[in-house]
Chain A
Amino acid sequence: MPVSVVITVDARACKKCGICVEFCPKAVLESGPFGEVLVTRAEACNQCRLCELRCPDLAITVEGG
């Protein structure tokens, strides 16, 4: 299935708190070696947008689909 959802992390706003990575129910996100957020399983995203809602820095967006 083609991936139609686009998850974007604004590196300037993100403080690498890890909330989005930890609480994504589909384990779509991972923390990179420097704590940066990596979108590693976009195809598993069900667009619940909990990462967006819980991000204290308005840094992650889920669009499309």
Chain B
Amino acid sequence: MAKLKPLTELRKEHFHFSRFPTTYCPGCGIGNVLQAVTRAIDETGRPPESFTFAVGIGCYGNIGNYLDFDELRLSHGRVPAMATGLKLARPDLNVIAMMGDGDATAIGGNHLIHAARRNIDITAIILNNHTYGMTGGQYSPATRLGDYATTAPYGMLEPAFDICKLAEGAGATFVARTTTFRMVQTIDIVRRAIEHPGFALVEIDSQCPVIYGRMNRWGDAVSMLKKQNALTVTLEKAKTMTPEELKGKIVVGIFKQAVEPEFTGEYYKVINRVRRPQDAS
């Protein structure tokens, strides 16, 4: 990792710090994700104006208020679709698709898998707090089996999506999971995801202390982070464990990294092939 930039500089260069405090609850992981993603962007050395955030609806949906980056503020679930359009129209841009677990895997699940299948060069960041935070703690497809939600008062009956396996199966060429507690790793993985030439998905396990934490009696942000850390297993360690031992664990690391034909590049190849000479400008 590059030397950590002083936070005062990061605030000045990439945030509207004068608009702080943010609207997020005390200890909420959205802020951790913002710091990790901006540091990762910074470490790529690419110009900030070459980045555009595509942002869905959820507690994190107003990040554009605090970030000094171009932004598409989109409807719930449609981030991968709109990000695809933007990338096709402006292949020069680095598109960061910010989604929540509900946004990306419930209402937007279909868009997500098809963006992954096309292997379009977008960096998808999924902030997985295992709930619909914004609307009051309903369960999402990422709520863990047995956990409580306002719509699961007797415990979640359905097994959760493994978002990384979903993305890998759908065709994403870079797939990784990390956590808000492991900031150094998160910055490193997000930077690699941005630099990856294809659809890159990073799931960041995050704490929602005020809705999900309270509903499950996990205490405040500090105890949630301790719990998250206790459940975390590195990919190397996970390889030595049985499926039974891995139940409920948060496996972190890079699961897939492969270079395959990228959709924007293929699309422009077709344009160049079929365009009549007199239409070329």
Does B225 lie within 8 Å of A53, measured CB to CB? no
A46 to chain B, nearest CB (A): 14
Bound Cα distance from A54 to B179, whole angstroms? 11
Q: Does B183 contact A (CB under 8 A)?
A: yes
Interface residue from B20, B25, B184, B209 paired with A58 (Cβ < 8 Å):
B20
Bound Cα distance from A14 to B15, whole angstroms? 16
The residues in B between 8 and 28 inclusive whose CB is less than 8 angstroms from any CB of A are 8, 10-11, 15, 17, 20-22, 24-28
Bound Cα distance from A52 to B6, whole angstroms? 9
Does A13 lie within 8 Å of B20, measured CB to CB? yes
Does B222 lie within 8 Å of A19, measured CB to CB? yes
Does B31 lie within 8 Å of A58, measured CB to CB? yes
Q: Does A4 contact B (CB under 8 A)?
A: no
Residue interface mask A29-65, B partner, CB < 8 A = 1: 0000000000000000000011011111111111100
Across-interface contacts of B21 in A (CB, < 8 A): 12-15, 57
Does B26 lie within 8 Å of A17, measured CB to CB? yes
Does A61 lie within 8 Å of B31, measured CB to CB? no
A56-B24 contact given A18-B220, A19-B222, CB 8 Å threshold: yes
Does A56 lie within 8 Å of B225, measured CB to CB? no
Number of interface residues of B (CB under 8 A): 30
A19-B221 contact given A57-B31, A58-B35, CB 8 Å threshold: yes
Across-interface contacts of A22 in B (CB, < 8 A): 222
Looking at chain A's contact residues, the main secondary structure is loop
Bound Cα distance from A56 to B25, whole angstroms? 10
B87 to chain A, nearest CB (A): 29
Across-interface contacts of A10 in B (CB, < 8 A): 20
B232 to chain A, nearest CB (A): 14
The residues in B between 179 and 211 inclusive whose CB is less than 8 angstroms from any CB of A are 180-181, 183-184, 209
Interface residue from B4, B8, B22, B24 paired with A53 (Cβ < 8 Å):
B4
A61-B17 contact given A17-B222, A56-B31, CB 8 Å threshold: no
A56-B222 contact given A13-B21, A15-B21, A61-B6, CB 8 Å threshold: no
Return the chain A residue nearest B36 by Cβ. Answer: A53
Across-interface contacts of B181 in A (CB, < 8 A): 54
A31 to chain B, nearest CB (A): 10
Does A55 lie within 8 Å of B31, measured CB to CB? yes
Bound Cα distance from A53 to B21, whole angstroms? 17
Does A58 lie within 8 Å of B24, measured CB to CB? no
Q: Which A residues lie at the B interface, using CB under 8 A?
A: 10, 12-19, 22-23, 49-50, 52-63
